[in-house]
Amino acid sequence: MTVPSLLENGAMPKTRTALETHGVALATLSFQTLGIVYSDLGTSPLYVLNGIWPSSGSAPSEEDVIGGVSAIIWSLTLLPLLKYIFISMHFGTSEGEGGPFALFQGLYPPEQKDLDKDRVLTGESYTQPSRDSGTWFKNVIQVPLLVWSLLGTALTMSDGVFTTAVSVTSAVGGIAVAKPSVEEQIIPISIALILVLFIGQQLGTAKLSLTFAPIAFIWFLLLVGTGIYNISTYPGIFRAFDPSRAVLLFVRTRDYDLLAGILLALTGCEATFANLGQFNAASIRLSFCCFVYPGLILAYLGQGARLIVDGDNVVQNAFYRSIPGSSDGPLFWIMFVIAILATFVASQAMISATFSLLQQVINMKSFPPLRMHYTSETNFGHVYIPALNWVMMIITVIVVGVFSNLTNLSNAYGFAVATVMFSTTVLLSISMYYLKRWPIIVAISFFFVFGFFDGLFWGAALKKVPEGAWVPLMIGVIMMCVMAFWTWAKGLEDGFDGANRQNLRHFLWKEDKPSLGDEVEVDEDDENHDSISYYYQVPIQKALSGKAEDLEKRKLIRIPTMAIFHKLTTGGGVPHTFIGFVRQYPALPQILIFLSVSMLPVPRVAVEDRYAVVKTKTLEGCYGVTYYIGFRERSNVKIDELVESICKMEMEYNPENFSRIIQNLKTISANGATHVVPHYHVLSKKVDAGYLSTIVNWVRTTLIEDIYRRLATMFPETANWLTSADEIIHIGINATI
């Protein structure tokens, strides 16, 4: 048995693919996207017009209103509709993931795991195949693109904070329209609602989307209904479909800052791409084109019409003052309640996207391995990360408390959105040429067209840095530095782990083999395996130089125990943990298992498919094992299941003489097993940087030994194991990286 039967039978691929649905399933998934993907875009009408024309100012002229609404309509058409819905959806990973980091992963994909090779312990070569290097330009820009994609990912995560802060505060602010006496309580009420929202994240994306989708559906219906009614008060607002009205607005007013307000209409468009892993392209396109886009257009047209008809009154709160009827009427309170609920939905959109993005980054070993809970039995992308949830909650409460001025809060929000949109455009342009192999003229044209519009918005948002936009910039830069640092340091540690794998034949040999490195052939029919003496090589330190120049062989004692050596990285050969174990404890367990863990894109794996076993002839009682788990399962190696899989393999491998081996396996495993994992004590190696060697080595030492070493101890890769701590041995290994 070398691979699980579910893979052999073709029931599923070795790597997860994008979610595919049709018919009723597609319609259901499209309905759910309203509660996760589009709620942020859907709640933008709460604050966009007042972001363009603040409530503290005077009402704009008729032509200015038409120009502003025109700018909103065409911004929604060019960016969310054309750029994200029709173009970016083609650039998700093979696993269906989206977002800036997914684009980088598409350009520079990780090495595919060779699980069969991973179980080989005595192969002659373990060097990984080199990937297609592409062109020199692609190689040169790899590091800058990594930093750029990490910045975009970090700012998308900060959107999870500011979406919640802006949308909830804007919705709650409507109560002051009907009850001015409650205005002082807006911030405390907003904070209370935010606490409820983040506490509810533990329910999981699937349950929340089923709960929130009907709310979002009702919200969009109310936007459509009130929009149509308001348009009837001034049908001339349809002139906003003329794009020249938007151009004339800026020519006439020469007010570049208006773009910062118009940008707020685009908040959440990145969620359409970032949430691709939680749904699929077809469902996201269907819901946007058939429901979200027309609903938003009607809502903004209606608000613009009311602003023209009743400017001085409506400009005080463009959304709530444009609701038909009195400010204390039943429709007002219905809209108020649904608006509060809709902002919960909007916040959920970016919080879920943040979880999905961090999941990608953790899986790519670009962030400390925080504990993740998979909340769906069918969808790999539905994930909840407790530590991130509570940190976001604390930051959001602080932001709402500090930014009591909604205008400054909106400035901070817009900057994060604009920067992420621009970073996505850059990565999409490069992906078109290098990934999709489209003509270079297409990639260049896409960059100049959409880069121009993104650049306009980004420039307007950049001017707001002194007025509050410095907050998301600070959060994004800090997150980017953490991710870039972890990518670098973890890569060095994994490189050390891979480089120190050894061929089992080159480390152990039998007594009757005088030469180091000779192959050990074990007679499978020999019933006196315990009498065979095994030796291992140790370096002899020269007394004067301290360098290991000679090798000495030492005898190993076989002990009647089972030991499981965990391989933290893929690749053939025995891990450095085994070598360190043997040199620290010169004993050889009678049952040796070298175990790799592979997560499959299914919620759970059947017991009969859980372990793939390879027998190593070099050493009696030695096996290479791949342990398959589903994304809803946590690593929990059950000895009885593992031994049963090994017994089945032995029966197939040697059906005539397997009884003694199986009896020995069951006898030894009855006492349990010891799990052996490495504890790398990382040390910074000295590098030659010329005149800067002293400074460079001091910086490396600080980053690796003072920061990374402590963080790696706080966030170990074994944190999610269910194995008892009494059964784990941590082998300390000095890793010079």
Q: Answer yes or no: do 603 and 462 share one domain.
A: no
Q: What does DSSP assign to residue 515?
A: S
> Beta strand 728-736 with 674-683: parallel, antiparallel or unpaired?
parallel
Q: Do residue 256 and residue 297 come from a single domain? A: yes
- Which residues form the domain of 210? 32-105+141-493
Instruction: Indicate the burial class of 532 (C-beta count within 10 angstroms; 0-12, 13-18, 19 or more).
Output: middle
Q: Are 581 and 612 in contact (CB under 8 A)?
A: no
CATH code at position 41: 1.20.1740.10
- Average pLDDT of the chain? 80
* Percent of the chain topping pLDDT 90: 21
User: Residue 175: pLDDT above 80?
Assistant: no
Cα distances from 154 to residues 128, 160, 275, 482, in angstroms, run: 31, 10, 15, 10
Residue 5 located in a structural domain: no
What pLDDT is attached to residue 602?
Answer: 65
CA distances from 527 to 338, 522, 524, 562, 620 (A): 77, 11, 8, 20, 11
377, 632 Cβ separation under 8 angstroms: yes
What is the per-residue pLDDT for 406? 63
- Which of 12-16, 108-112, 586-590 has the weakest average pLDDT? 12-16
**Based on the domain organization, do 480 and 561 belong to the same domain?**
no
Residue where a domain stops, chosen among 439, 462, 493: 493
Determine how many CB atoms are found less than 10 A away from the CB of residue 550. 11
Q: Is the confidence at residue 526, as pLDDT, over 70? A: no
Predicted pLDDT of residue 455: 92
Residue 196, in any domain of the structure = yes
Q: Using one digit for the tens of pLDDT, what is the confidence trace for 71-87?
A: 999 999 999 999 999 99
Q: Domain for residue 540, yes or no?
A: yes
State the pLDDT confidence band at 7, using cuts at 50, 70 and 90: very low
Q: Is 576 found in the same domain as 460?
A: no
82 or 543, which is more confident? 82
- Whether 530 and 457 map to the same domain: the answer is no
Q: Is 268 contained in some domain?
A: yes
Domain boundary residue among 493, 514, 539? 493
**Same domain membership, residue 511 and residue 420:** no
| Domains in the chain, number | 2
Which helix (H) or strand (E) element contains residue 458?
helix 440-462
Does residue 538 register a pLDDT over 70? no
Q: Which of 564-578, 648-662, 672-686 has the highest mean pLDDT?
A: 672-686
Q: Are 421 and 570 part of one and the same domain?
A: no
